[in-house]
Structure 1
Amino acid sequence: MMKKYKIAVIVGSLRKESFNLKTAKALMAIAPESLSLELLDIADLPMFNEDLEATPPKEWVAFRKQIIAADGLLFLTPEYNRSVPGVLKNAIDVGSRPYGQNSWDGKPAAIVSVSIGNISGFGANHHLRQSLVFVNVNTMAQPEAYIGGAAALFDDNGKLTDDSTKDFLKNFMGAFEKWVDTHAKQ
Protein backbone atom coordinates (compact mmCIF):
# COMPACT_ATOMS: atom_id res chain seq x y z
CA MET A 1 0.00 0.00 0.00
CA MET A 2 1.30 3.42 -0.98
CA LYS A 3 2.03 6.00 1.70
CA LYS A 4 -0.26 9.05 2.00
CA TYR A 5 1.54 12.15 0.71
CA LYS A 6 0.78 15.78 1.51
CA ILE A 7 0.92 17.89 -1.66
CA ALA A 8 1.11 21.68 -1.59
CA VAL A 9 -0.79 23.14 -4.56
CA ILE A 10 0.47 26.54 -5.66
CA VAL A 11 -1.57 28.49 -8.21
CA GLY A 12 0.15 31.39 -9.93
CA SER A 13 -3.05 33.25 -10.80
CA LEU A 14 -4.85 35.46 -8.31
CA ARG A 15 -7.98 36.01 -10.41
CA LYS A 16 -11.18 34.80 -8.74
CA GLU A 17 -12.31 32.99 -11.91
CA SER A 18 -8.82 31.76 -12.77
CA PHE A 19 -8.70 28.79 -15.12
CA ASN A 20 -5.59 27.64 -13.24
CA LEU A 21 -7.53 27.64 -9.97
CA LYS A 22 -10.40 25.77 -11.63
CA THR A 23 -7.91 23.23 -12.97
CA ALA A 24 -6.32 22.90 -9.52
CA LYS A 25 -9.74 22.12 -8.05
CA ALA A 26 -10.37 19.57 -10.81
CA LEU A 27 -7.02 17.92 -10.04
CA MET A 28 -7.86 17.84 -6.34
CA ALA A 29 -11.12 16.07 -7.16
CA ILE A 30 -9.49 13.37 -9.30
CA ALA A 31 -6.25 12.92 -7.36
CA PRO A 32 -5.32 9.39 -6.32
CA GLU A 33 -6.16 8.59 -2.71
CA SER A 34 -2.49 8.52 -1.75
CA LEU A 35 -2.22 12.26 -2.52
CA SER A 36 -3.75 14.79 -0.14
CA LEU A 37 -3.77 18.11 -1.98
CA GLU A 38 -3.95 21.47 -0.18
CA LEU A 39 -4.13 24.87 -1.89
CA LEU A 40 -1.60 27.34 -0.54
CA ASP A 41 -2.48 31.02 -0.76
CA ILE A 42 0.34 33.13 -2.16
CA ALA A 43 -1.69 36.31 -2.73
CA ASP A 44 -0.63 38.02 0.49
CA LEU A 45 3.06 37.13 0.53
CA PRO A 46 4.99 40.39 0.87
CA MET A 47 7.45 40.90 -1.96
CA PHE A 48 10.80 39.33 -1.21
CA ASN A 49 13.35 41.79 0.15
CA GLU A 50 16.41 40.37 1.86
CA ASP A 51 16.45 43.35 4.24
CA LEU A 52 13.31 41.91 5.88
CA GLU A 53 15.02 38.62 6.81
CA ALA A 54 16.16 39.99 10.20
CA THR A 55 12.49 39.90 11.23
CA PRO A 56 10.71 38.05 8.42
CA PRO A 57 7.03 38.84 7.81
CA LYS A 58 4.68 36.33 9.44
CA GLU A 59 3.32 35.42 5.99
CA TRP A 60 6.80 34.34 4.89
CA VAL A 61 7.32 32.24 8.00
CA ALA A 62 3.94 30.52 7.64
CA PHE A 63 4.46 29.87 3.92
CA ARG A 64 7.91 28.38 4.46
CA LYS A 65 6.50 26.05 7.14
CA GLN A 66 3.77 24.89 4.73
CA ILE A 67 6.35 24.09 2.04
CA ILE A 68 8.61 22.25 4.49
CA ALA A 69 5.63 20.19 5.73
CA ALA A 70 4.68 19.13 2.19
CA ASP A 71 5.90 15.86 0.69
CA GLY A 72 5.43 17.19 -2.84
CA LEU A 73 4.44 20.23 -4.87
CA LEU A 74 1.96 20.84 -7.66
CA PHE A 75 2.30 24.14 -9.53
CA LEU A 76 -0.33 25.62 -11.82
CA THR A 77 0.58 28.68 -13.81
CA PRO A 78 -0.82 30.96 -16.46
CA GLU A 79 1.55 32.70 -18.82
CA TYR A 80 2.19 36.43 -18.46
CA ASN A 81 4.43 37.90 -21.16
CA ARG A 82 6.01 34.49 -21.92
CA SER A 83 6.88 33.86 -18.28
CA VAL A 84 5.37 33.17 -14.87
CA PRO A 85 3.30 35.72 -12.97
CA GLY A 86 5.27 37.86 -10.52
CA VAL A 87 3.32 36.48 -7.55
CA LEU A 88 4.51 32.96 -8.35
CA LYS A 89 8.14 34.01 -8.80
CA ASN A 90 7.90 35.89 -5.50
CA ALA A 91 6.64 32.73 -3.76
CA ILE A 92 9.62 30.79 -5.08
CA ASP A 93 12.00 33.51 -3.89
CA VAL A 94 10.37 33.68 -0.44
CA GLY A 95 10.52 29.89 -0.04
CA SER A 96 14.16 29.70 -1.08
CA ARG A 97 15.42 31.97 1.70
CA PRO A 98 17.05 32.73 4.05
CA TYR A 99 20.25 31.55 2.43
CA GLY A 100 20.97 27.96 3.39
CA GLN A 101 17.36 27.27 4.44
CA ASN A 102 15.68 26.53 1.12
CA SER A 103 12.15 25.25 1.89
CA TRP A 104 11.84 23.76 -1.60
CA ASP A 105 14.98 21.63 -1.37
CA GLY A 106 14.57 18.11 -2.75
CA LYS A 107 10.78 18.18 -3.08
CA PRO A 108 9.19 16.29 -5.99
CA ALA A 109 6.93 18.46 -8.12
CA ALA A 110 4.87 18.73 -11.27
CA ILE A 111 3.79 21.72 -13.34
CA VAL A 112 0.54 22.34 -15.18
CA SER A 113 0.21 25.46 -17.32
CA VAL A 114 -3.28 26.56 -18.28
CA SER A 115 -4.18 29.20 -20.84
CA ILE A 116 -7.05 30.34 -23.02
CA GLY A 117 -4.62 30.41 -25.96
CA ASN A 118 -3.26 27.66 -28.14
CA ILE A 119 0.33 27.88 -26.85
CA SER A 120 -1.02 26.65 -23.49
CA GLY A 121 1.41 28.50 -21.24
CA PHE A 122 4.45 26.76 -22.74
CA GLY A 123 6.79 29.67 -21.95
CA ALA A 124 5.63 29.98 -18.35
CA ASN A 125 5.90 26.23 -17.83
CA HIS A 126 9.52 26.22 -18.96
CA HIS A 127 10.52 29.38 -17.10
CA LEU A 128 9.08 27.87 -13.94
CA ARG A 129 11.12 24.70 -14.55
CA GLN A 130 14.28 26.82 -14.77
CA SER A 131 13.60 28.45 -11.40
CA LEU A 132 12.72 25.13 -9.79
CA VAL A 133 16.00 23.56 -10.98
CA PHE A 134 17.91 26.26 -9.10
CA VAL A 135 16.00 25.66 -5.83
CA ASN A 136 16.56 21.89 -6.20
CA VAL A 137 13.00 20.80 -6.89
CA ASN A 138 12.73 17.44 -8.66
CA THR A 139 10.23 18.37 -11.36
CA MET A 140 8.47 15.60 -13.27
CA ALA A 141 9.50 15.70 -16.93
CA GLN A 142 6.78 13.49 -18.43
CA PRO A 143 3.96 13.76 -19.04
CA GLU A 144 4.10 17.48 -19.68
CA ALA A 145 0.85 19.35 -19.01
CA TYR A 146 -0.04 22.27 -21.24
CA ILE A 147 -3.78 22.95 -21.14
CA GLY A 148 -4.92 25.27 -23.93
CA GLY A 149 -8.35 26.61 -24.84
CA ALA A 150 -9.28 26.69 -21.15
CA ALA A 151 -12.29 28.97 -21.66
CA ALA A 152 -14.13 26.09 -23.35
CA LEU A 153 -13.26 23.40 -20.77
CA PHE A 154 -15.37 24.50 -17.78
CA ASP A 155 -19.07 25.07 -17.14
CA ASP A 156 -20.57 28.18 -15.50
CA ASN A 157 -19.93 26.66 -12.06
CA GLY A 158 -16.21 26.17 -12.75
CA LYS A 159 -16.48 22.41 -13.17
CA LEU A 160 -14.27 20.72 -15.76
CA THR A 161 -16.58 19.31 -18.43
CA ASP A 162 -14.22 18.25 -21.21
CA ASP A 163 -13.81 14.46 -21.06
CA SER A 164 -10.51 14.25 -22.96
CA THR A 165 -8.97 16.85 -20.62
CA LYS A 166 -10.33 14.94 -17.61
CA ASP A 167 -8.77 11.73 -18.92
CA PHE A 168 -5.45 13.46 -19.58
CA LEU A 169 -5.39 15.03 -16.10
CA LYS A 170 -6.28 11.71 -14.47
CA ASN A 171 -3.33 10.05 -16.24
CA PHE A 172 -1.13 13.02 -15.33
CA MET A 173 -2.04 12.65 -11.65
CA GLY A 174 -1.33 8.91 -11.81
CA ALA A 175 2.15 9.67 -13.14
CA PHE A 176 2.58 12.36 -10.48
CA GLU A 177 1.59 9.90 -7.76
CA LYS A 178 4.37 7.56 -8.90
CA TRP A 179 6.82 10.48 -9.17
CA VAL A 180 6.10 11.57 -5.59
CA ASP A 181 6.28 8.01 -4.28
CA THR A 182 9.69 7.59 -5.92
CA HIS A 183 11.19 10.99 -5.01
CA ALA A 184 9.63 12.10 -1.72
CA LYS A 185 11.98 12.16 1.24
CA GLN A 186 11.17 9.13 3.33
Structure 2
Amino acid sequence: MVNIGVLVGSLSKHSYSQKIANHLMTRSPAVKFVQVNYDILPLYNPDLEKKPPLEWQVFRKVIDKMDALLIVTQEYNFSIPGGLKNAIDVVSVPSPRPHIYHKPVLLVTDSSGSRGGANANAHIQQMLRYMGMDVMNAFITIGNVQQDFDANDRLINHDVMTELDNALNDFIKGLDAK
Protein backbone atom coordinates (compact mmCIF):
# COMPACT_ATOMS: atom_id res chain seq x y z
CA MET A 1 0.00 0.00 0.00
CA VAL A 2 1.21 3.50 -0.86
CA ASN A 3 1.67 5.90 2.06
CA ILE A 4 0.99 9.56 1.30
CA GLY A 5 1.85 12.16 3.92
CA VAL A 6 -0.53 15.11 4.00
CA LEU A 7 0.64 18.59 4.96
CA VAL A 8 -2.06 21.22 5.36
CA GLY A 9 -0.92 24.84 5.21
CA SER A 10 -3.43 26.14 7.72
CA LEU A 11 -3.19 25.18 11.36
CA SER A 12 -6.94 25.77 11.78
CA LYS A 13 -9.09 22.63 11.95
CA HIS A 14 -11.84 24.57 10.16
CA SER A 15 -9.83 25.91 7.22
CA TYR A 16 -10.87 25.24 3.66
CA SER A 17 -7.46 23.71 3.06
CA GLN A 18 -8.24 21.16 5.78
CA LYS A 19 -11.65 20.51 4.23
CA ILE A 20 -10.04 19.90 0.83
CA ALA A 21 -7.46 17.57 2.41
CA ASN A 22 -10.24 15.71 4.24
CA HIS A 23 -12.06 15.25 0.94
CA LEU A 24 -8.94 13.97 -0.84
CA MET A 25 -8.07 11.56 1.97
CA THR A 26 -11.37 9.72 1.38
CA ARG A 27 -11.01 9.33 -2.37
CA SER A 28 -8.70 6.34 -2.74
CA PRO A 29 -9.03 3.23 -0.57
CA ALA A 30 -5.83 1.83 -2.11
CA VAL A 31 -3.78 4.57 -0.44
CA LYS A 32 -2.99 5.19 3.20
CA PHE A 33 -3.10 8.92 3.91
CA VAL A 34 -1.31 10.19 7.00
CA GLN A 35 -1.83 13.80 7.99
CA VAL A 36 1.50 14.94 9.38
CA ASN A 37 1.36 17.51 12.16
CA TYR A 38 4.03 20.18 12.08
CA ASP A 39 2.69 22.89 14.38
CA ILE A 40 5.07 22.05 17.24
CA LEU A 41 8.26 22.16 15.17
CA PRO A 42 10.83 24.64 16.47
CA LEU A 43 11.82 27.22 13.86
CA TYR A 44 14.55 25.93 11.59
CA ASN A 45 18.01 27.03 12.71
CA PRO A 46 21.05 25.31 11.16
CA ASP A 47 22.95 25.76 14.41
CA LEU A 48 20.67 23.11 15.94
CA GLU A 49 21.69 20.45 13.39
CA LYS A 50 24.51 19.24 15.65
CA LYS A 51 21.85 18.00 18.06
CA PRO A 52 18.50 18.30 16.25
CA PRO A 53 15.43 18.88 18.42
CA LEU A 54 13.39 15.74 19.06
CA GLU A 55 10.45 17.26 17.17
CA TRP A 56 12.59 17.60 14.03
CA GLN A 57 13.84 14.03 14.38
CA VAL A 58 10.35 12.58 14.69
CA PHE A 59 8.96 14.73 11.87
CA ARG A 60 11.82 13.72 9.57
CA LYS A 61 11.32 10.02 10.34
CA VAL A 62 7.62 10.24 9.55
CA ILE A 63 8.30 12.03 6.25
CA ASP A 64 10.98 9.43 5.42
CA LYS A 65 8.34 6.68 5.72
CA MET A 66 5.99 8.38 3.27
CA ASP A 67 6.12 7.34 -0.38
CA ALA A 68 4.82 10.75 -1.45
CA LEU A 69 3.38 13.98 -0.11
CA LEU A 70 0.13 15.84 -0.67
CA ILE A 71 0.29 19.52 0.22
CA VAL A 72 -2.94 21.48 0.48
CA THR A 73 -2.59 25.10 1.44
CA GLN A 74 -4.12 28.50 1.29
CA GLU A 75 -2.20 31.58 0.33
CA TYR A 76 -0.94 33.94 3.04
CA ASN A 77 0.11 37.41 1.91
CA PHE A 78 0.61 36.24 -1.69
CA SER A 79 2.89 33.38 -0.60
CA ILE A 80 3.33 30.26 1.51
CA PRO A 81 2.19 30.08 5.15
CA GLY A 82 5.11 30.42 7.56
CA GLY A 83 4.47 27.18 9.46
CA LEU A 84 4.40 25.14 6.27
CA LYS A 85 7.59 26.83 5.05
CA ASN A 86 9.28 25.95 8.34
CA ALA A 87 8.18 22.31 8.04
CA ILE A 88 9.58 22.10 4.53
CA ASP A 89 12.83 23.72 5.68
CA VAL A 90 13.17 21.10 8.44
CA VAL A 91 12.95 18.18 5.98
CA SER A 92 14.92 19.79 3.18
CA VAL A 93 18.22 19.54 5.04
CA PRO A 94 20.40 16.47 4.70
CA SER A 95 20.76 14.80 8.07
CA PRO A 96 22.60 12.67 6.98
CA ARG A 97 20.63 12.53 3.70
CA PRO A 98 17.87 14.68 2.23
CA HIS A 99 14.44 13.64 3.45
CA ILE A 100 12.45 14.88 0.46
CA TYR A 101 14.86 14.51 -2.45
CA HIS A 102 12.96 12.94 -5.36
CA LYS A 103 9.89 12.47 -3.18
CA PRO A 104 6.76 12.88 -5.33
CA VAL A 105 4.40 15.67 -4.30
CA LEU A 106 0.95 16.80 -5.37
CA LEU A 107 0.19 20.44 -4.57
CA VAL A 108 -3.23 22.07 -4.23
CA THR A 109 -3.79 25.70 -3.25
CA ASP A 110 -6.96 27.56 -2.39
CA SER A 111 -8.16 31.02 -1.48
CA SER A 112 -11.32 33.00 -0.96
CA GLY A 113 -10.33 35.15 -3.93
CA SER A 114 -10.71 34.27 -7.57
CA ARG A 115 -7.04 33.37 -8.16
CA GLY A 116 -7.12 30.35 -5.86
CA GLY A 117 -3.76 30.90 -4.26
CA ALA A 118 -1.90 31.03 -7.58
CA ASN A 119 1.01 32.97 -6.07
CA ALA A 120 1.42 30.46 -3.25
CA ASN A 121 1.21 27.62 -5.75
CA ALA A 122 3.95 29.11 -7.90
CA HIS A 123 6.17 29.88 -4.91
CA ILE A 124 5.81 26.43 -3.40
CA GLN A 125 6.36 24.66 -6.72
CA GLN A 126 9.50 26.73 -7.33
CA MET A 127 10.82 25.95 -3.86
CA LEU A 128 10.05 22.22 -4.01
CA ARG A 129 11.55 21.78 -7.46
CA TYR A 130 14.71 23.60 -6.32
CA MET A 131 14.98 21.13 -3.42
CA GLY A 132 14.77 18.21 -5.83
CA MET A 133 11.24 17.02 -5.17
CA ASP A 134 9.26 15.43 -7.98
CA VAL A 135 6.37 17.87 -8.22
CA MET A 136 3.39 16.66 -10.24
CA ASN A 137 2.94 18.84 -13.31
CA ALA A 138 -0.41 20.27 -12.34
CA PHE A 139 -1.38 23.77 -11.31
CA ILE A 140 -4.38 23.15 -9.09
CA THR A 141 -5.82 26.32 -7.64
CA ILE A 142 -9.28 26.60 -6.12
CA GLY A 143 -10.64 30.13 -6.10
CA ASN A 144 -13.66 31.36 -4.16
CA VAL A 145 -13.30 28.20 -2.11
CA GLN A 146 -15.91 29.28 0.44
CA GLN A 147 -18.59 28.66 -2.20
CA ASP A 148 -17.50 25.06 -2.81
CA PHE A 149 -18.60 23.51 0.51
CA ASP A 150 -21.95 22.99 2.18
CA ALA A 151 -22.81 23.60 5.83
CA ASN A 152 -21.53 20.09 6.68
CA ASP A 153 -18.09 20.78 5.16
CA ARG A 154 -18.75 18.53 2.16
CA LEU A 155 -17.34 19.55 -1.19
CA ILE A 156 -20.32 20.30 -3.43
CA ASN A 157 -18.68 21.88 -6.47
CA HIS A 158 -18.61 19.02 -8.97
CA ASP A 159 -16.10 20.73 -11.27
CA VAL A 160 -13.63 21.13 -8.39
CA MET A 161 -14.34 17.58 -7.23
CA THR A 162 -13.61 16.22 -10.72
CA GLU A 163 -10.39 18.24 -11.00
CA LEU A 164 -9.19 17.03 -7.60
CA ASP A 165 -10.17 13.41 -8.24
CA ASN A 166 -8.46 13.38 -11.64
CA ALA A 167 -5.28 14.92 -10.25
CA LEU A 168 -5.19 12.49 -7.32
CA ASN A 169 -5.81 9.49 -9.59
CA ASP A 170 -3.07 10.61 -11.99
CA PHE A 171 -0.72 11.17 -9.05
CA ILE A 172 -1.39 7.69 -7.63
CA LYS A 173 -0.95 6.09 -11.06
CA GLY A 174 2.41 7.85 -11.35
CA LEU A 175 3.41 6.44 -7.94
CA ASP A 176 2.36 2.95 -8.94
CA ALA A 177 4.47 3.22 -12.12
CA LYS A 178 7.64 3.89 -10.11
| Deviations 1:13-33, CA, capped at 9 Å, x for gaps | 112311001000000111x23
Q: Is 1:89 the equivalent of 2:89?
A: no
Residue 61 (1) aligns with residue 61 (2): no
Q: Is the CA contact (8 Å cut-off) linking 1:75 and 1:111 kept in structure 2?
A: yes
Partner of 1:178: 173
Scaled by the length of structure 2, what TM-score is found? 0.94
Matches of 1:99 and 1:64, distance apart in 2: 9
CA distance, structure 1, for counterparts of residue 77 and residue 111 of structure 2: 12
1:110 CA drift (Å): 0.8
- Separation in structure 2 between the aligned mates of residue 12 and residue 37 of structure 1, nearest angstrom: 16
Report deviation, 1:168: 1.8
Name the structure 1 match of 2:152.
157
1:179 & 1:109 partners in 2: Cα distance? 11
Q: 1:9 aligns with which of 6, 10, 14?
A: 6
Structure 2 spans left out of the alignment, 5+ residues:
none
Shift of 1:75: 0.6
Residue 124 of structure 1: aligned partner: 120
User: 2: distance between equivalents of 1:7 and 1:82?
Assistant: 27
Per-residue deviation, residues 16-60 of structure 1 (Å, max 9, x unmatched): 311001000000111x23321111111111100111112211110
**More off after superposition, 61-70 vs 160-169:** 160-169
User: Given the two structures, how large is their TM-score scaled by the length of structure 1?
Assistant: 0.90
SS of equivalent to 2:77: coil
Higher normalized contact order (CA 8 Å, seq sep 6+, divided by chain length) = 1
- AA aligned opposite 2:177: T
Aligned match for 1:19, one of 5, 16, 23: 16
2:63 and 2:116 map into 1 onto residues whose CA distance is 27
Per the TM alignment, residue 100 of structure 1 is displaced from its structure 2 partner at its CA by 5.0
Runs of 4 or more, structure 1, over 3 Å off, are none
Aligned pair count? Answer: 178
Which runs of 5 or more residues in structure 1 are unaligned?
A: none
CA–CA distance in structure 1, aligned partners of residues 152 and 47 of structure 2: 43
**2-side partners of 1:76 and 1:56: how far apart?**
27
SS in 1 for 2:112: coil
Cα distance in 1 for partners of 2:154, 2:34 equals 18
Task: Name 2:25's counterpart in structure 1.
Answer: 28
